[in-house]
């Protein structure tokens, strides 16, 4: 599911994560900046190598800031100036060393938390109307009777419908300390009067394993959206459950995964890698930052066909997993070259409550490949690197990706792989141009497609409840007239109607709408089952994972 302001939950993540990640380009870099942390006891000590220069620089900055504060013609916010100066200084170092002010730490850290305090609602924001996509299973909202399609008019006595509030602000209003209550006014389809509920907040799981299920009797699919505090436990539970159901081959989806905690990622990789082989190592300025991580447990799935899906949104810890599995010829990688974030950040708590995440080392795969892509002094250019890949045709053709011969490495079985930035998959699948077309992405980012699906679900709820999902999936189809209606709704949201674009995107739109409706009517598994039909990367992976001859050829066995 794309990350967008139109489809969100109290986690601040998108409501129903998707494998294709069509709208995540802007958000991926931001998340990658804060992820891939080397979590350990902070060993930071002031440098003794150049204390005089450090002292001169400190005094210079202090003196200038003092003059500005005292004598500048207008009033200034000196704290904001100091924050800006620190950010500019860090950008001179590398793209991933960052300073996080105290006011932003909770929001930044929540991405890697395994739970949060709230009421448990996924919502869509369309034309300034907050609509429930689904109450989270077992959460307070579901227990209070909140239903998909309910429109939220007010939260805690504050009007939110038509109030032009951001998704972040709406999320803040939903969340709060466990045990506290929030009043919610709802408008429900075909009810004349609004409903007024008071819901007590509680601890809500913030899953990072989005879905895990058997595609057929032997083939499993697991989607990991990030490496948060509870990711390994979630993954291990899912994998064990699928093994008990008969799993003998697996597709692991790391597309759009921006990283997270390194130790969770290496423990996940250890489930696939036998013996005591190396998973990753880091190389830093001092020996205290040089760490080598090896497989150390008897994993749950050390044998059996394994395909890993990656794309340009797979970063940091996700690249560590992909690189280790590729170097040891344990998995076939399918998709496109990964992001290329191979710098390790040390979180350093500051006295003012802020945090410095300072690059202290680089990640290397077992074969010795550096994951980090090149960067220079031009921070803006680095931010546009993914756009540059598209312009060079790299997202459309594997031949457009060029690697330096001196960065050639060998896997355990002698296959050639390359360093120099990101992990290149074994099987390239071009990016779906229609899925990334401006018209289609606007429909999703403005919440139009989801709003249309929720309205349809509300109007046909009784009919849908009378169908088993298998019947729905086999017979349901979005009509041409409904696509015309969708385009009309889009025009109301300021998206110019484009008949040609609608026609080109029709198969994708029909599938997306069908999936959204299935999500409301039958749950997340139905959503992913429908999406699978229009997912070329996943279809390719499913074909490979069941073709033993192709696997052996690709892995050089």
Report the alpha-carbon distance of residue 320 to residue 295 in Å, rounded.
Answer: 13
**Which residues, listed in sequence order, are joined to residue 61 by a DSSP beta bridge?**
none
| CA 445 to chain CA centroid, nearest Å | 15
CA distances from 93 to 98, 215, 343, 372, 376 (A): 10, 46, 12, 14, 9
Separation of alpha carbons 359 and 93, rounded Å: 9
Work out whether strand 151-155 and strand 7-9 pair parallel, antiparallel, or are unpaired.
unpaired
Name the DSSP class of 19.
S
What residues contact 515, with CB distance under 8 A and at least 6 apart? 526, 527, 528, 530, 531
> What distance in Å separates the CA atoms of residue 40 and residue 284, rounded to the nearest whole number?
15
| 8-state DSSP, 193 | S
Sheet holding 427-428, edge to edge: 209-214, 219-224, 249-253, 305-310, 332-335, 427-428
| Dihedral, 312, 313, 318, 322 alpha carbons, nearest 10 | -20
**For 400, which DSSP code?**
G
Contact status, residue 363 vs residue 319, Cβ threshold 8 Å:
yes
d(CA 293, CA 40) in angstroms, rounded, equals 14
Whole-angstrom CA distances from 229 to 112, 264, 281 are 6, 7, 21
What is the helix (H) or strand (E) element at residue 506, kind and residue range?
A: helix 499-522
Q: Let me know if 193 is exposed, middle or buried by CB neighbors in 10 A (0-12, 13-18, 19+).
A: exposed
Looking up tokens 């599938």 gives 511
Strands 332-335 and 343-349: unpaired
Catalytic residue annotation: 316, 327, 341
* Measured torsion, CA atoms of residues 153, 155, 156, 160, in degrees rounded to the nearest 10: -70
């Amino acid at each position: 599911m794309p990350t967008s302001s139109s489809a969100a939950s109290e986690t601040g993540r998108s409501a129903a994560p998707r494998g294709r990640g069509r709208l995540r380009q802007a958000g991926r870099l931001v998340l990658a900046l804060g992820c891939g942390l080397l979590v350990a006891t902070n060993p930071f000590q002031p440098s003794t190598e150049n204390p005089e220069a450090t002292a001169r620089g400190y005094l210079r900055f202090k003196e200038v800031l003092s003059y500005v504060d005292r004598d500048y013609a207008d009033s200034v916010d000196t704290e904001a100036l100091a924050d800006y100066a620190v950010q500019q200084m860090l950008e001179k170092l590398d793209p991933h060393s960052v300073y996080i002010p105290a006011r932003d730490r909770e929001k930044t850290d929540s991405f890697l938390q395994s739970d949060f305090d709230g009421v448990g609602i996924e919502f869509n924001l369309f034309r300034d109307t907050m609509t429930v996509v689904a109450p989270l299973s077992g959460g307070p909202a579901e227990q209070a009777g909140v239903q998909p399609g309910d429109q939220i008019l007010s939260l805690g006595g504050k009007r939110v419908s038509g109030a032009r509030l951001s998704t972040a602000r709406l999320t803040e209003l939903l969340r709060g300390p466990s045990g506290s209550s929030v009043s919610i006014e709802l408008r429900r389809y075909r009810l004349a009067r609004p409903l007024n509920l008071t819901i007590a907040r509680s601890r809500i799981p913030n899953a990072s394993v989005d879905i895990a299920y058997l595609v057929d009797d032997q083939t499993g699919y697991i989607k990991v959206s990030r490496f948060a505090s509870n990711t390994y436990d979630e993954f291990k539970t899912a994998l064990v459950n699928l093994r008990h159901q008969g799993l003998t081959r697996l597709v692991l989806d790391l597309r759009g995964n921006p990283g997270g905690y390194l130790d969770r990622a290496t423990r996940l990789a250890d489930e696939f890698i036998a013996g005591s082989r190396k998973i990753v190592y880091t190389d830093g300025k001092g020996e205290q930052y040089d760490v080598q991580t090896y497989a150390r447990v008897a994993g749950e799935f050390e044998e059996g066909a394994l395909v890993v899906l990656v794309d340009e949104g797979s970063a940091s810890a996700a690249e560590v997993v992909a690189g280790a599995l590729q170097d040891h010829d344990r998995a076939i990688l399918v998709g496109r070259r990964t992001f290329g974030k191979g710098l390790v950040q040390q979180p350093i708590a500051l006295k003012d409550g802020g945090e410095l995440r300072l690059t202290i080392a680089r990640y290397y795969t077992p074969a010795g490949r550096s994951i980090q892509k090149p960067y220079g002094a031009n921070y803006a250019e680095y931010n546009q690197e993914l756009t540059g890949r598209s312009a060079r045709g790299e997202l459309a053709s594997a031949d457009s990706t060029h690697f330096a011969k001196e960065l050639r490495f060998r896997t355990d079985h002698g296959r050639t792989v390359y360093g120099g930035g990101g992990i290149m998959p074994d099987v390239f699948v071009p990016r779906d141009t229609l899925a990334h077309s401006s018209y289609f992405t606007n429909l999703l980012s403005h919440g139009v497609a989801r709003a249309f699906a929720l309205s349809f679900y509300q109007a046909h709820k009784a009919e849908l409840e009378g169908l088993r999902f298998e019947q729905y999936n086999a017979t349901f189809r979005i009509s041409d007239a409904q696509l015309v209606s969708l385009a009309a709704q889009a025009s109301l949201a300021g998206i110019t109607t484009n008949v040609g674009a609608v026609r080109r995107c029709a198969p994708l739109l029909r599938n997306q709408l069908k999936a959204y409706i299935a999500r409301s009517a039958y749950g997340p598994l139905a959503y992913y089952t429908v999406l699978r039909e229009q997912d070329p990367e996943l279809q390719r992976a499913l074909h490979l994972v069941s073709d033993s001859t192709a696997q052996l050829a690709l892995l050089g066995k």
